[in-house]
Homo-oligomer: A and B are copies of this chain.
Amino acid sequence: MAGKLQGIFTPTLVPLDARGEINESELRRFLAWLIEKGVHGLYPNGSTGEFTRLSLEERRRIVKISCEVAQGKVPVLAGAAEANVRDTLAACEAYAGYGAVAVAIVSPFYYRLSPDSVYAYFAEIAKHSPIDVTLYNIPMFASPIDVRTIQRLAADCPRIIGIKDSTGDLSFMMRMIAAVRPIRPDFTFLTGWDVVLTPMMLAGCDGGTNASSNVVPELMRQVYDLTKAGHYQQAMQLHTRILELFDAMLLPFEFPDGFRCGAAMRGFDFGRGRQPMTAAQQVDRAALEKVLRCILSDCGVVDPPASGCAPRGGSVQQDRIAQLALEIVGELEQRGVICTKR
């Protein structure tokens, strides 16, 4: 590949149609819009793209579409993790053929593996991959990749060219960079934690793969540009706004459902996700939409809601009354006091 990965790589959401199938035309329209809004690259099959809820064939189809829409205008970093080394390598081969610039491979998940096993897994893939590989560290969901293991992989495997880290831990980022840069100046560091992109870049990080860039690609791009130009304080002011948006989409919902909701407000039909929701969760989603509309209209990217917005006093505010009322109803039902079902 030519040049280092840097900038904002959007871990793209996947629109589904009424039958729950990939909505290809909407996906193409969405990806083109992201590129137009200024993101530096596409990153299909990440956690935001719910790769674990797709079939192997669907994951391929999504990368193929992404490469077609990107057409070399922006690079595609393709999530390529499959059930085992052999299937992963087959995906690497396919994605190289489609024109992806590199693949991202999440650390083994379900089983929590030791550092030695994490090393063996990535070393084996790197040995045979026909395309550059970036590690993907997300200890919340998958086996952690520790600093020593990253250092060993960087030293031993030229095919491994970078890491995407989703911990949001700035000290960890600094430790990684201190351990790897001296031996691999070309190594790329990307952060998956949207709200601290500026400090991460100040610490030496090359950019981010940020779920929020599905919803406000122009803002994430602006944060990146301001930071790159050394305007750290202005960038941090934007971060405060992004934090409010991020928390509203992240905290009260199953990831990435709040982000699907936010991206839909930008004019795309994302349909319903594949994880079923209870009635209470659907009520919450309606409440989110109103809050999101208020935040997004503050950001100047959508119109405010007709009913107006309450003044907001911090990032932790959220509508709890509806939820509490539903809990009471559930409680009364369970005791047989009332009956709302059927």
Residue of B nearest to A53 (CB): B84
Using A53-B84, A148-B316 as known contacts, say yes or no to A174 and B243 having CB atoms under 8 A apart: yes
How many angstroms from the CA of A3 to the CA of B20 in the assembled complex?
37
**Of B20, B141, B254, B315, which one neighbours A175 at CB under 8 angstroms?**
B315
| Interface contact B320-A331, CB-CB below 8 Å | yes
A87, CB-defined interface residue at 8 Å: yes
Q: Which of A83, A142, A247 has the most CB of B within 10 A?
A: A83
How many angstroms from the CA of A278 to the CA of B123 in the assembled complex?
9
A168, CB-defined interface residue at 8 Å: yes
| Interface contact A117-B151, CB-CB below 8 Å | no
| Interface contact B239-A314, CB-CB below 8 Å | no
Distance of A307 from chain B, by nearest CB (Å): 16
Q: Categorize the interface residue count of chain A.
A: 35 or more
Distance of A305 from chain B, by nearest CB (Å): 18
Residues 83-94 of A, flagged 1 when their CB comes within 8 A of B and 0 if not, give: 111110000000
Interface of A is mostly: helix
**Of B114, B117, B170, B328, which one neighbours A196 at CB under 8 angstroms?**
B170
Residue of B nearest to A239 (CB): B174
| Interface contact A52-B170, CB-CB below 8 Å | no
> Which residues between 239 and 257 of chain A lie within 8 Å of chain B, taking CB atoms?
239-240, 243-244, 247, 254-255
**Of B110, B151, B203, which one neighbours A109 at CB under 8 angstroms?**
B110
A275, CB-defined interface residue at 8 Å: yes
Residue of B nearest to A341 (CB): B156
Distance of A339 from chain B, by nearest CB (Å): 13
A74, CB-defined interface residue at 8 Å: no
Distance of A117 from chain B, by nearest CB (Å): 5
How many angstroms from the CA of A318 to the CA of B54 in the assembled complex?
40
| Interface contact A178-B315, CB-CB below 8 Å | yes
**Of B202, B313, B320, which one neighbours A183 at CB under 8 angstroms?**
B313
What residues of B have a CB within 8 angstroms of the CB of A56 in the complex?
A: 55-56
| Interface contact A113-B254, CB-CB below 8 Å | yes
Residues 252-268 of A, flagged 1 when their CB comes within 8 A of B and 0 if not, give: 00110000000000000
Using A243-B171, A321-B328, A325-B328 as known contacts, say yes or no to A121 and B83 having CB atoms under 8 A apart: no
Distance of A8 from chain B, by nearest CB (Å): 18
| Interface contact B314-A254, CB-CB below 8 Å | no
Using A112-B141, A170-B199, A331-B324 as known contacts, say yes or no to A274 and B53 having CB atoms under 8 A apart: no
Q: Can you name 22 A-B residue pairings with CB atoms under 8 Å? A: A20-B84, A20-B86, A52-B83, A52-B111, A54-B84, A109-B109, A111-B141, A113-B254, A116-B280, A168-B169, A168-B171, A169-B169, A170-B196, A175-B247, A175-B315, A178-B316, A179-B313, A199-B202, A202-B236, A203-B236, A321-B331, A324-B324
